[in-house]
Amino acid sequence: MPPPNVTGRLHMGHAMFVAIQDGLARFHRMRGRPVLWLPGTDHAGIATQLQVEKLLIAEGTTREEVGRETFLERVWDYKAEQGGHITRQLRSLGASADWSRERFTMDQDLSEAVSEAFVRMHDKGLIYRGEYMVNWAPLLKTAVSDLEVEYTEEEGKLYYFKYMVDGTDGGKFEFLPVATTRPETIMGDTAICVHPDDERYKDLVGKEAIVPMGNGRTIPIIADDYVDMEFGTGALKITPGHDPNDYAIGKKYDLPIINIMNKDGSLNGNAGEQYNGLDRFVAREQLWKDMEDESLTIKVDPHTQRVPRSQRGGEIIEPLVSSQWFVKTEGMGAKALKAVEDGDIEIVPKRFNKEWNNWLTDIHDWCISRQLWWGHRIPVWYVGESGESEFIVARNEVEARSKAIENGHPENVVLRQDEDVLDTWFSSGLWPFATVGWPANEGVENSDLDRFYPGTCLETGYDILFFWVARMVMMGIELTGESPFSVIYLHGLVRAEDGTKMSKTKGNVVDPLDTVEKFGADSLRYSLVTGVTPGQDIPLNMEKIEANRNFANKLWNSAKFVTFNGLKDADEAEIEELAVAGPIGKEEFDKLLLPEKYIVSKCHSLVASVTNDIEKYQLGAAGGKIYEFMWDQYADWYIEISKTRLYEGAGGGDIEEAKAARRVLVYVLDTILRLLHPFMPYVTEQIWHHLPRAQASKDQAAHALMLADWPQMDDETLLVTSDEAVSTFECFQAVTRSIRNARAEYNVEQGKRISAVVVAPENLKDDIEKELKSLVALARLDPDEVSVVATGSAESIAANNDDSIQLVVQDGVEVFLPLSGLIDPEKERARLTKQQGKLQIEIEKLAGRLNSKGFADKAPAVVVDKAKAELKELETQAEMVEKSLKALNK
């Protein structure tokens, strides 16, 4: 289970992953496979620390004032108070994880695994400490990952100003026009760059420019084709210490790096005494004012720009060079690429392969140190009272001291652990193997690590493919030698009903628990899974959830019919037989009548199709097929037909037919419940216990649908079906529908019984005739005025010549309905005559309008064309009424 934030609250993304992952877990468990769905929570370094810091601020203090030890005590208290909410909410959705194994990323053994991973990767040369450009969050006072920075289009300003050039002609000064969106960084400039082909500035390349307000400091004017001649003035200020692109140019030309910013976002002494200590945005305004006073400004234009903001705090990120710990990712990324290329890992859907390849091909080293207090402390100890020139990487302080002594230091040498903690994604990158006993159980047979690593499937949202998934793959291969899972299944995002992203600011967030309270967990889960394909975003439609609540009701009512009405006449011996009966095999199947053969065949085909779909991670398709079969075939067709076997008044009375119907009703419902259980666990589990069960099974404490066998186990042959029975019954259905449609077309009262003659080829005649009582019940026919005759017989000719409506069905089958049985001639003649009169009035009115010269000449062509089309439609309706009247009079 992707570990949610320990202090988080349930949102629709959680509901989505529960619906999918629980569905997969229940499916494979019922298939008889050993399934571990391991739950847990993440310590969520930044998010959790932010919450506790807010509490301290509300109390009038800060984490710095209370100190690290007290602050961490407060965080653990907060975790204890808030930490159980998310897991309780996940369980309320029906998550059948192994909750006895619930883990937390800061559990003792998992923390030890983090230290072990750090040490091993450092020993391999994969972890290093270095000066590098990072994304700095001034309010959080920590570096954040590239992936944790979101860029937003925002209205800003483009500042144009003068960079005075020190000329060689008798001390003559010229100025170079430069534009920037961040004037405060001018004090960190170490070059001006122009394009080598830019004729405007060619003569200035190689000269020196004077930094505005920089106490006479000069910087070189250089040329590089990186510069866009069309943007701004075509002259680019280079600030290697505060811009990632400038940093690259600085490295290329060996420019000095000047850091002008403190960790809290204020400017430091390198920016000049007059700006030292000012907030970056205050300094921007002050510097620009000072430049105006010195006549160094040109203009300020509105400018839309991409602003980097922290995904957590929302603050504007400041790029700056900082000493941090990094993971070398190029080699690890290549192994992760190869795992997908070689088929060790399959990404579902495949379209994300391209993104996987692009990201891992262009991957940068990963900054893993965070300037926080909550998290896994970096397992590095510095030697001595101060300074960081000598350090020891160790699993714990005892090991660090032992290594220090080996290096020649005294036993009482002062060791200081690194103040920083590791990026949260570093620890969660170990999740697949650390949670099942790595490294303690490496090489131990039959341990959880041996049994459950590598895992089969990792299911998560596509939005954390690189945050988490790629890192698990890289670290898994590097530390265990194996890919952590064979399938990466990516679901889409749950969006608002209009397709926009849910956000509190928009006020369109839907609380899953509110939805569950109103419609039930089953309805929400089913709605999130069905009707979508892997990786596809899903708009949350309340009408769809309500419709699926109605589907659950339909299932409940169908089960109620089976258990109360269907079984009420079954004796104890028959109930016991039903309780122990297994799948319907060929011998039993061959004895069934057509409707029973049909519904069992369709049921068995459904089992094969749904099983195949779920094995291929097509849960949406599988769920939709179960819905269609249960509602359209089982409830609307077979349950209605079963009444002709069960009730004497409906044509029943044959004991063996009734017994077979009860067997099929229970068997098919049981199969539906098993198939639907991964999608709707609550209602299916509840209903299943009302079906006949062997007494021995009832006495077992663990007896539950979630532990029952899937209808098609791995070692079983395919269940029996009959294409002929399906084809024949579909013809029977078509006959029924054609009669129902005719009744609707002629407005026949629902309770009125009508006559019918069904004309069918010899190969279908007997089958339809055997189910005449079903046809009578479903199509509301008069049992004394209905017959099935062979095509070409005298009876069929008579029916064809009779004053009847002819319905052409399929497979050579026709139905003749005597018109006199459908309608009251006088009432129908009066209705049609009245309708004819109304149509004639409308036709004359519209025709007169069109013939009017004023209308034809003055009205727009589109209006005239629309009127002509309306007239044509009215005339067509009048012709149909006239035709019906003639037929009626005949």
What tens digit of pLDDT does each residue of 337-367 get? 999 999 999 999 999 999 999 999 989 899 9
The identity of residue 485, as a single letter, is F
Does the pLDDT of residue 519 top 80, yes or no?
A: yes
Alpha-carbon distance of 522 to 681, in angstroms, equals 7
Does the pLDDT of residue 180 top 60, yes or no?
A: yes
Place of tokens 């036993």: 411
Start-to-end C-alpha separation, the chain: 74
**Alpha helices (H) in 305-347, listed in sequence order:** 330-341
Other beta carbons within 10 Å of 157: 15
As given in the structure block, the two tokens for residue 6 are 């320990």
Question: Phi then psi for 241, rounded to 5 degrees?
Answer: -85, -5
Query: Residue 716: what pLDDT?
Result: 66
Q: Tell me what percent of the residues of the chain surpass a pLDDT of 90.
A: 67
- Residue 654's pLDDT band, with cuts at 50, 70 and 90, is confident
CA distance to 636, 651, 670, per residue, from 643 (Å): 12, 8, 19
Question: Phi then psi for 787, rounded to 5 degrees?
Answer: -150, 160
Give yes or no for a contact between 641 and 564, defined as CB atoms under 8 angstroms apart: no
Give yes or no for a contact between 7 and 82, defined as CB atoms under 8 angstroms apart: yes
The identity of residue 551, as a single letter, is F
Residues listed for the chain: 890
- Overall average pLDDT of the 622-630 stretch: 97
Query: Residue 191: what pLDDT?
Result: 96
CA distance to 71, 241, 668, per residue, from 65 (Å): 9, 31, 68
What is the per-residue pLDDT across 852-865, written as a single tens digit (0 to 9) for each?
888 878 888 888 88
794 vs 729 pLDDT, higher one: 729
Alpha-carbon distance of 654 to 648, in angstroms, equals 8
Query: Residue 652: what pLDDT?
Result: 64
DSSP state of 719: P
What is the per-residue pLDDT across 760-794, written as a single tens digit (0 to 9) for each?
999 899 999 999 999 999 999 999 999 999 988 87
Give yes or no for a contact between 286 and 276, defined as CB atoms under 8 angstroms apart: no
Give residues with Cβ within 8 angstroms of 61, minimum separation 6.
none
- Residue 170's pLDDT band, with cuts at 50, 70 and 90, is very low
**Alpha helices (H) in 192-310, listed in sequence order:** 244-252, 280-293
Task: Report the candidate in 720, 719, 662, 711 with the shortest Cα–Cα distance to residue 691.
Answer: 662
Q: β-strand 369-370 against 391-393: which pairing, if any? A: unpaired
Other beta carbons within 10 Å of 850: 14
pLDDT-wise least confident of 40-54, 136-150, 221-235: 136-150
- Residue 649's pLDDT band, with cuts at 50, 70 and 90, is low
Give residues with Cβ within 8 angstroms of 601, minimum separation 6.
720, 721, 722, 723, 725, 726
Give yes or no for a contact between 377 and 395, defined as CB atoms under 8 angstroms apart: no
What is the per-residue pLDDT across 817-870, written as a single tens digit (0 to 9) for each?
887 777 777 777 887 888 889 999 999 998 888 888 888 788 888 888 888 889
Give residues with Cβ within 8 angstroms of 815, minimum separation 6.
735, 738, 739, 756, 757, 758, 759, 806, 807, 809
Q: β-strand 208-210 against 218-223: which pairing, if any? A: antiparallel
**pTM of the entire predicted model:** 0.83
Q: β-strand 754-760 against 781-790: which pairing, if any? A: parallel
List of long-range contacts for 561-569, beta carbons under 8 Å, 24+ apart: 561/639, 562/639, 562/665, 562/666, 562/669, 562/691, 563/690, 563/691, 565/646, 566/642, 566/646, 566/661, 566/662, 566/665, 566/666, 567/662, 567/666, 567/692, 569/646, 569/658
pLDDT-wise least confident of 317-326, 516-525, 796-805, 840-849: 796-805
- Overall average pLDDT of the 603-614 stretch: 96
Local structure of 853: helix, strand or coil: helix
pLDDT-wise least confident of 16-30, 480-494, 705-719: 705-719
Count CA atoms closer than 13 A to 836's CA, side-chain side: 14
Task: Report the candidate in 566, 586, 584 with the shortest Cα–Cα distance to residue 575.
Answer: 566
Alpha-carbon distance of 885 to 30, in angstroms, equals 63
What is the per-residue pLDDT across 78-123, written as a single tens digit (0 to 9) for each?
999 888 889 999 999 999 999 999 999 999 999 999 999 999 999 9
What is the per-residue pLDDT across 412-466, written as a single tens digit (0 to 9) for each?
999 999 999 999 999 999 999 999 999 999 999 999 999 999 999 999 999 889 8
**E-strand stretches of 138-205:** 142-144, 149-166, 173-180, 191-194
Give residues with Cβ within 8 angstroms of 802, minimum separation 6.
757, 816, 818
Place of tokens 């064309």: 865
Does the pLDDT of residue 665 top 80, yes or no?
A: yes
Query: Residue 168: what pLDDT?
Result: 52
Alpha-carbon distance of 476 to 431, in angstroms, equals 9
Local structure of 442: helix, strand or coil: coil
Q: Which of 3-12, 140-149, 210-219, 445-454 has the highest mean pLDDT?
A: 445-454
Query: Residue 701: what pLDDT?
Result: 40
List of long-range contacts for 444-449, beta carbons under 8 Å, 24+ apart: 448/36
Q: Tell me what percent of the residues of the chain surpass a pLDDT of 70.
A: 96
Which residues sit opposite 759 in a β-bridge?
789, 814
The identity of residue 48, as a single letter, is T
Does the pLDDT of residue 313 top 80, yes or no?
A: no
| Residue 213 exposed, middle or buried by CB count within 10 Å (0-12, 13-18, 19+) | buried
Does the pLDDT of residue 699 top 60, yes or no?
A: no
Alpha-carbon distance of 88 to 9, in angstroms, equals 10
Alpha-carbon distance of 282 to 297, in angstroms, equals 18
Query: Residue 650: what pLDDT?
Result: 62
Local structure of 613: helix, strand or coil: helix
Q: To 5 degrees, how large is the angle CA 840–CA 841–CA 843?
A: 65
- Overall average pLDDT of the 257-279 stretch: 93
Q: To the nearest whole number, what is the mean pLDDT of the chain?
A: 90
- Residue 142's pLDDT band, with cuts at 50, 70 and 90, is confident
Alpha-carbon distance of 624 to 510, in angstroms, equals 24
Give yes or no for a contact between 724 and 590, defined as CB atoms under 8 angstroms apart: no
Alpha-carbon distance of 323 to 321, in angstroms, equals 7
- Residue 802's pLDDT band, with cuts at 50, 70 and 90, is low
As given in the structure block, the two tokens for residue 632 are 């359209």
**Torsion 281-287-289-291 (CA) sign:** negative
- Residue 886's pLDDT band, with cuts at 50, 70 and 90, is confident
Query: Residue 823: what pLDDT?
Result: 75
Helix (H) or strand (E) segment spanning residue 274 = none
Alpha-carbon distance of 1 to 868, in angstroms, equals 64
Query: Residue 214: what pLDDT?
Result: 87
- Overall average pLDDT of the 580-602 stretch: 94
DSSP state of 377: B
Give residues with Cβ within 8 angstroms of 685, minimum separation 6.
677, 704, 705, 706
Place of tokens 């077992």: 700
Question: Phi then psi for 399, rounded to 5 degrees?
Answer: -65, -40
| Residue 666 exposed, middle or buried by CB count within 10 Å (0-12, 13-18, 19+) | buried
